A and B are shown apart, each in its own frame.
Chain A
Amino acid sequence: MSGDFYHTYIAPHKGILVKICRAYTHSQADFEDYFQEVCLQLWKSREAFQERSAWSTWVYRVTLNVCLSLQRKSKKEPATAELLPDDLTTHSYAFQNEELELLYAAIRQLKEVDRALILLYLDEKSHAEIAEILGTNPNNIGVRLLRIKERLKKLLDGKIN
């Protein structure tokens, strides 16, 4: 992968990569591996990008696909109860924002696809955009998001002021 490609095509979207990779990993080492693999796959798939959608949509799609596939490969899901709040200390790329870290820890407890949905929602993607990125039907996204938000609220109940 060339440095030019990284600086031109990936660096402007590094926020997307960080946000998503963080939601699918439980340690700094995994985060770095996922980040590296996403960058590599973006580079390898650049020819497949046919400009039918925005590059940022492509970045979301590739990032989510890579994270989901790595997640399934590793099958290292920690037990639900282990994540809050010890999980906060596992990343040295932490956001220095405890509330955000708590939100991340809660998001990590969601199912893989629900994680993708809520991340896209929080990044202010419309239902249509979420459906396009995830390759699903936009009709039931609203209902599903409501359920996910309810679950997140329960997980964060009393932990956030």
Chain B
Amino acid sequence: MVNVLFFAELQEAVGKERVAVDAVGLTIAELKQQCSQEYDVPRLDQAMVALNEEYTADDALLADGDTVAFIPPVSGG
């Protein structure tokens, strides 16, 4: 399983901080598509993605136990 984390407006839209998804072997892009279909998430395509706490590209492949975080535009400071 792959752990998927949501933050800020994405978290409120999904209604959960995290979900476990059967996404082993998929790419980040495919996971995004799957999450878009399953949840009513606004502007998921604009989110950056972190794989195991590091920014990654959409073509990265997912392995069992990975943690993916969808990072909407940040506003710290």
Report if A and B associate in a common complex: no
Residues of A within 8 A of B (CB): none
Residues of B within 8 A of A (CB): none
